[in-house]
Structure 1
Amino acid sequence: MLNSRSFGERLFDSLNALLMIALMAVTLYPFLYVLFASFSSPAELMQHRGLLLAPEGFSLQAYKLVLADPMIASGYFNTLFYVIIGTALNILLTSFAAYGLSRRGTLLGNKVMFAIVFTMFFSGGLIPHYLIIKNLHLFDTRWVMILPTAISTWNLLVMRTSFQQVPVALEESARIDGANDFTILFRIFLPVSLPILAVMTLFYGVQHWNSYLDAMIYLRDRELYPLQLILQEILIANSTDQMMTTVSDFDKGLVQETIKYATIIVATVPILLLYPFLQRYFVKGVMLGAIKE
């Protein structure tokens, strides 16, 4: 059978491809600009006008100053702690809640689910939240960045939907063999739900990596600041003097800009490197529940 395509179909595909390429360029170029600027010579970068398609006078000065700053190292350590410990706790607690709420016959399951979903639309606000954290003695501790956001309502709903699609026969056969709920969750539900676990890991990990507002409100000890709060100080408050103690007064104004670009790259690249490892699960996970079989 001859598979011939009409002129309109070929035209549509061509225009669609051009549109996707244009969107990719618009999305990618700002990141490339920051990357090229971070490797550029400060003096030549300040003189450059127009599009930046390559580093202007290759220089690693900005990265040397950024990586030598003790606050960057401290921020990295704190952020990795929040991401690793926080994401592990997020996945564990969300799995427990999703498993319990996805089982038929759960006591007050629908009422509990309604109460949880209600918090997505109505909340007490910042002041009650602040008072609760203060009364729990979480203020100015690392746990204030982890415990208050231990379970995301939206992520709980997505994981609950995933668990509801696990065949009931698997659970029943496991119970016949004497398995309890913990065994069923860790030996059956989680292994068959790898796509949703990958998506949850990405969502929670990015949330912790980018979190700075809670740190700004609840942390006073600079030794506990995450990397994003350090980045916020550098980009908005122009707090770069500590990095430029070895730079002459004449060059400080020039180096300051490349330091900002280098800090953005240092704070962004690690989370970008995580995505390729989760990509194969991502599409399947986010499409969960979109198609009924």
Structure 2
Amino acid sequence: MKALKALVLTLCCALVVVPFAGIVATSLSTREQIVQAGGFVIVPDEITFAAYEALFTGGVVPRAVGVSVFITVVGTVLSLATTTLLAYGLSRPGSLGHRPVLSLVVGALLFTPGIIPGYLTVSSLGLLDTYWAVILPAVVSAFNVVILRAFFMEIPAELVESARIDGAGDWQILTRIVLPLSKAVLSVIGLFYAVGYWNAFFTALLYLNDAGKWPVQLVLRTYVVNQQQLGVDQVGAGNLPPQEALQMAILVISIVPILLVYPFVQRHFTKGVLVGAVKG
């Protein structure tokens, strides 16, 4: 039985690792190797960084990466702040508007406004073709609010009451007691938000008309999914690397940042999700 489990896990890992390794290998391969391998290299004989040099020499990909970083950082900070404040308020019995706001949050889990009402709302607020059109519609997730509220409700009431007896207000209780105890669940929710903003493809497609404001996911769609060719003006002058290498390099650039962030929150992942979801 253990051998069978090991075999299944090995196959599952191979299904994930081999395609990604092939993407990285193709992005590092020469034109001759790509042609010989039929467009997808598994193990390159010779490694070249020409595709990455060409992409970062041109203006399209560096600008798109900068846009994605801006949207991810600003959106994650705003989302964590608003979600924390909302969840903490809903975890305190008798808070102002507790039941109506909680009903709205639960209702948001069951019903979504749809594309057209969302577009009309963003348009009426004058946010079209701005980065806020990508950030603000996703600033609060009802699912994350419910998880964080459940976690806050598990904090012993005696701890909060003792702090209140010592003269601490709600803000001091939140910042000095609740938040230090919530690092695990906040790390997980922050990762959820960061992945969502980094992969914000559809909202950017709807609301951003200026190609100069496109995040890296829209660039990925344009030059990899739609198979549009990257020209010299987009990747810099000189000998143009093979399109397959350029496309795979864009794909690697769009994946690696999240892979680098994940190890830092991995040790909090299981604890943060289970404590917030199961005990609540």
TM-score over 0.5 (shorter chain): yes
- Superposition deviation, residue 53 in structure 1: 3.7
Instruction: Kindly provide the CA deviation profile for residues 204-244 of structure 1, in whole angstroms up to 9, marking residues without a partner as x.
Output: 01111111111111112222211111111111231412446
- Superposition deviation, residue 288 in structure 1: 2.0
Contact 1:37 1:56 in 2 (8 A): no
Alignment partners' CA distance in 1, 2:30 and 2:68: 29
**1:33 and 2:34 matched:** no
Alignment partners' CA distance in 2, 1:27 and 1:197: 28
- Superposition deviation, residue 169 in structure 1: 0.9
Instruction: Kindly provide the CA deviation profile for residues 248-285 of structure 1, in whole angstroms up to 9, marking residues without a partner as x.
Output: 6xxx6x71111000111112111100111111101111
Alignment partners' CA distance in 2, 1:181 and 1:127: 39
TM-score after normalising by structure 1: 0.89
- Superposition deviation, residue 50 in structure 1: 10
Q: Which runs of 5+ in 1 are unaligned?
A: 1-11
- 1:66-145 equivalences in 2 (<5 Å): 66-145=55-134
- Superposition deviation, residue 51 in structure 1: 8.2
- 2:139 paired residue number: 150
**1:169 and 2:158 matched:** yes
- The 4+ residue runs of structure 1 with deviation greater than 4 A are 49-52, 289-293
User: Aligned match of 1:271 in 235, 258, 269?
Assistant: 258
- 1:258 paired residue number: 245
- Superposition deviation, residue 124 in structure 1: 2.5
**1:221 and 2:221 matched:** no
Contact 2:217 2:254 in 1 (8 A): yes
- 1:194 paired residue number: 183
- Superposition deviation, residue 291 in structure 1: 5.0
Q: Which runs of 5+ in 2 are unaligned?
A: none
Contact 2:82 2:139 in 1 (8 A): yes
Alignment partners' CA distance in 1, 2:94 and 2:236: 65
Percentage of matched positions with identical amino acids: 36
Contact 1:45 1:56 in 2 (8 A): no
- 2:224 paired residue number: 235
TM-score after normalising by structure 2: 0.93
Going from structure 1 to structure 2, the CA distance change for 1:263 and 1:112 (only over 3 Å counts) comes to: same
Alignment partners' CA distance in 1, 2:86 and 2:131: 24
Alignment partners' CA distance in 2, 1:276 and 1:164: 28
Instruction: Kindly provide the CA deviation profile for residues 32-91 of structure 1, in whole angstroms up to 9, marking residues without a partner as x.
Output: 010111111122212115984421432222111111121111111111111111100000
Which range moved further: 81-90 or 119-128?
119-128
Contact 2:27 2:51 in 1 (8 A): yes
- Superposition deviation, residue 290 in structure 1: 5.5
- Superposition deviation, residue 107 in structure 1: 4.0
Larger radius of gyration: 1
- 2:50 paired residue number: 61
Alignment partners' CA distance in 2, 1:262 and 1:50: 14
Alignment partners' CA distance in 2, 1:148 and 1:207: 12
